[in-house]
């Protein structure tokens, strides 16, 4: 990596742009929440600075829960930018479809374990998709993008978190979503135990029934 302070745009997401940069001799990611022109400036500033301050705290909490996340180096609230470790690897979204069924299931179970550890520690991720999971060189799975997460131990929050994971699997990996989610839940149960996990699963069913125009929805 050259020493010049240049940066390359890695990804222009909807919520933030990711730049790859050299910083004190390391490769780092700068996650910048750029102003959103569609939002009125006042609201935009509030949302961006809130998420920027919040995200590193949750990533740190996740680490304490035993869930790999990139190390934070710098938080720049004024510019809504976070400088963090660059994790070399691939998005689980890219890897998962190409694995043999057995390995797919194992990976999903490992993801379930990570979510379980997070929840047991009182953190919900808020945006569990396979794009927000990075399979690093050594085989470790890192969770990223905690911008919509929160510290919350309620069954409702946990249920919504897992429900989002299910929805993300259905829209991105619809061909094997069901099987994948089943293994995610197995991994999850292995951490939280049958009793606590069971409560969350019941909540997921309730959340699904709440959805609009769902067949299983109960008549009020």
Partner 1 sequence: MKTEKQLCLGVESTADDFGVGIATFKGEILANASSGYVPEEGGIHPREAARHHAENADKVLAEALSTAGVKPKDLSLISFAQGPGLGPCLRTGATVARALASYLNTPLVGVNHSIAHIEIGKLETGAADPVTLYVSGGNTLVSAFEAARYRIFGETLDIALGNCLDVFAREAGLKHKKGLPLGAAVEKLAAEGKKLIPLPYVVKGMDISLSGLLTAATILLHKGEHRLEDLCYSLQEHAFSMVTEVTERALAHTEKREVLLTGGVAANRRLQEMLGVIAEEHEAKFNVVPRQFATDNGAMIAWTGVLAYTHGLVTPVEKSFVKLRWRIEKVDVPWIK
Residue 39 as a binder of partner 1 (CB under 8 A): the answer is yes
Q: Of 81, 92, 114, 128, which lies in the binding site for partner 1, with binding defined by CB under 8 A?
A: 128
Q: How far is the CB of 174 from partner 1 (least distance, A)?
A: 6
Is 2 marked active-site? no
DSSP 124: E
Q: Of 32, 114, 127, 133, which lies in the binding site for partner 1, with binding defined by CB under 8 A?
A: 127
Scanning residues 182 to 211, which ones bind partner 1 (CB under 8 A)? 207, 210-211
Q: Nearer to partner 1 by C-beta: 13 or 66?
A: 13
User: How far, in Å, CA of 29 to CA of 70, rounded?
Assistant: 9
Q: Nearest Cα to 119, choosing from 207, 167, 185, 54?
A: 185
- State whether the Cα torsion 106-198-201-130 is positive or negative: negative
User: How far, in Å, CA of 59 to CA of 55, rounded?
Assistant: 6
Q: What torsion, rounded to 10 degrees, do the Cα atoms 164, 148, 43, 156 define?
A: 60
Q: Of 38, 101, 138, 218, which lies in the binding site for partner 1, with binding defined by CB under 8 A?
A: 38
Query: Residues in the site for partner 1, rule: CB under 8 A?
Result: 12-15, 36-40, 42-43, 46-47, 126-129, 131, 148, 160, 164, 167-168, 170-171, 174, 207, 210-215, 217
Active-site residue set: 127
């Amino acid at each position: 990596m050259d020493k010049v302070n240049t940066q390359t745009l890695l990804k222009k997401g909807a919520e933030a742009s990711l730049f790859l940069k050299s910083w004190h001799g390391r490769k780092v990611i700068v996650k910048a929440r750029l102003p959103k022109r569609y939002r009125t400036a006042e609201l935009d500033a509030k949302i961006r600075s809130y998420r920027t301050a919040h995200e590193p705290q949750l990533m740190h909490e996740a680490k304490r829960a035993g869930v790999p996340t990139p190390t934070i180096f710098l938080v720049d609230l004024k510019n809504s930018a976070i400088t963090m470790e660059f994790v070399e690897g691939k998005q689980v979204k890219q890897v998962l479809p190409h694995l043999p069924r057995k390995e797919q299931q194992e990976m999903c179970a490992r993801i379930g374990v990570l979510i379980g550890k997070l929840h047991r520690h009182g953190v919900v991720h808020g945006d569990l998709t396979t794009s927000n999971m990075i399979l690093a060189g050594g085989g470790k799975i890192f969770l990223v993008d905690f911008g919509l997460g929160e510290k919350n131990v309620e069954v409702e929050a946990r249920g919504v978190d897992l429900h989002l994971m299910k929805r993300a699997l259905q829209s991105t990996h619809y061909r094997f979503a069901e099987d994948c989610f089943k293994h995610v839940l197995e991994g999850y149960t292995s951490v939280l135990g049958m009793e606590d996990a069971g409560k969350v699963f019941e909540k997921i069913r309730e959340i699904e029934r709440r959805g609009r125009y769902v067949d299983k929805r109960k008549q009020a």
